[in-house]
Amino acid sequence: MPKEKISLATRLRNYVSEFGNIFTTDSKILFCTVCNIKIASDKRFSVTQHIATEIHQRGVNRTENKKKTQQLISKDSSSKSSFNNDLYQTTLRKVNVDHCYQEVLNEIRQKVAGKKIWVSIDETTDAEGRFIASVIIGTLLLDRPGEIFLFNLEQLQKTNHSTICSLFENSLYLLWPDEIRRNDVLLFLSDAAPYMVKAGDTLKVLYPKMVHVTCTSYGLHRVAEQIRIQFPKVDKLVANVKRVFKKAPYRVQKFHTDAPNISLPLEPILTHWGTWISAVLYYSENFQTVKNIIESFDENDALSIKNAQKYFKIPQMKGNLTFIHSNFVCLPIAITRLQKQGIPLSEGIAIIQDISSKFSQLTGTAGIDINKKLQTVLNKNKGFQIVCNISKILTGEEENAKKKATQPFIDFVLQVLNIENLSSEESV
């Protein structure tokens, strides 16, 4: 009879039972209480490998030493000292920590008092799969960039526009406990996720002077992803060369020996496709050197070597790398500049407009599709279009911008003359 497959929950409980109290589980993940991290548990080997690591062993030693110290203290301590310890911990938790929290909260309230503000919300998941959202606020000043505060951090039961709106409202109630100053909230910054866009549309009903701007650098990352999609063979080359040198000390050493003046091939970061463009630029600049090193390896040693050699031999490969280098070297540079704090609004807009101008000159099927992607990303960012018009009014660049605006928009502009010092990427 075929062997019955063990469920995930049963396998994790077996690990906990086998290795003692160094692990805990919620039937979904295996958590190391010594290292305070989630560990891979697909195979028993992964668990034993973690236990054998130097970091884990040091943690075990610290735990054992701590237990010995606590045992010595408990032997020498009386019931009175135990009572004092409990009292101290209770006092610290209920009095001191709360006092520090209220002190910092009041300080932020004082610095924000009477000023216009912007709000940014970003959501992520932690090691245990919980939805954690952070709220950042900042002040808008006339003569300089305002102060920025990490104001609130909450766990969400689920991520949708409703929970984001609730978090937004709760955070501003925390800032203004007497009454939310809705006309003082001028900007809402977030990523371009559909639920964030929907949350922005909902909140604008409650905050009539607020403009929702989605992250422009995030939009450029999406354009970079479109470039990757247009060149699948280049993507395969980057992925396979990365695997050739991953966990391969001998190959890494040979690379440094044969090419001492250049770094190892760059490894793109998942979801940050601007780094993929940077990796392609690396191959364009060091094509022959990296190709010679890859071809010096035995293709039978690893599938990644065989694949990398195959893609290096494609006739169009060098031409594709050159095309990407010639037309898109500006993209990772622009992303880096937009992520810098404190740049003026006009400079942030100029960066996007420069990219748009360069992409509009692209030719060929791939170039036209990439330009369409950029224009789609920018056109969906309605808040960015409004901010562009505000910048034109403030700088006097386009008098007709006033004619295009509604009267509430004009009133809004008059109240945010200080927005000149706000970067469209200041908190995202």
Cα separation, 260 vs 289, whole angstroms: 11
Cα separation, 426 vs 205, whole angstroms: 24
User: Identity (one letter) of the amino acid at 168?
Assistant: F
Entry pTM:
0.64
Nearest 5°: the CA angle 251, 252, 254 is 65
- Written as six digits, the tokens of 242 are 């990365």
With DSSP H G I counted as helix, E B as strand and the rest as coil, what are the percentages for the chain, rounded to 5?
60, 10, 25
- 299 alpha-carbon distance from chain centroid: 37
Q: Give, in order, the Cα–Cα distances in Å from 217 to each of 156, 202, 258, 341.
A: 25, 24, 37, 13
Cα separation, 170 vs 180, whole angstroms: 10
Q: Determine the pLDDT at residue 81.
A: 56
Cα separation, 79 vs 97, whole angstroms: 26
Cα separation, 201 vs 171, whole angstroms: 18
Per-residue model confidence as pLDDT tens for the chain (428 residues): 455 667 777 877 787 777 777 888 777 788 787 777 788 777 777 788 888 888 788 888 877 776 666 655 555 554 445 656 665 565 555 556 677 878 888 899 999 998 889 999 998 888 888 899 999 999 887 667 788 898 898 998 888 999 999 999 999 999 998 888 998 998 899 988 889 999 999 999 899 889 898 888 888 988 999 999 999 999 999 999 999 998 888 999 999 999 999 999 888 876 677 889 999 999 999 999 999 999 999 999 999 999 999 999 999 999 999 999 999 989 989 988 888 877 777 788 889 989 999 999 988 888 899 999 999 998 888 888 887 877 777 666 655 544 444 444 444 444 443 333 333 333 33
Bridge pairing between strands 185-190 and 116-125: parallel
Q: What are phi and psi of 119, to 5 degrees?
A: -130, 135
> Which residues in 176-202 are b (16+ Cβ under 10 Å) and which e?
eeeebbeebbbbbbbbbbebbbebbee
- Side-chain-side CA neighbours of 160 within 13 Å: the count stands at 3
Q: What are phi and psi of 163, to 5 degrees?
A: -70, -35
- Written as six digits, the tokens of 290 are 């990296």
Answer for the pair 211, 386: CB distance below 8 angstroms, yes or no.
yes
With 0-12 / 13-18 / 19 or more C-beta atoms within 10 angstroms meaning exposed / middle / buried, residue 376 is: middle
Q: Determine the pLDDT at residue 322.
A: 92
Answer for the pair 378, 424: CB distance below 8 angstroms, yes or no.
no
Q: Determine the pLDDT at residue 91.
A: 59
- Give the strand order in the sheet containing 185-190: 145-156, 131-140, 116-125, 185-190, 211-214
**DSSP codes, 218-260:** HHHHHHHHHHHHH-HHHHHHHHHHHHHHTT-HHHHHHHHHH-T
With 0-12 / 13-18 / 19 or more C-beta atoms within 10 angstroms meaning exposed / middle / buried, residue 67 is: exposed
Cα separation, 296 vs 4, whole angstroms: 46
Q: Determine the pLDDT at residue 423.
A: 37
Cα separation, 307 vs 325, whole angstroms: 23
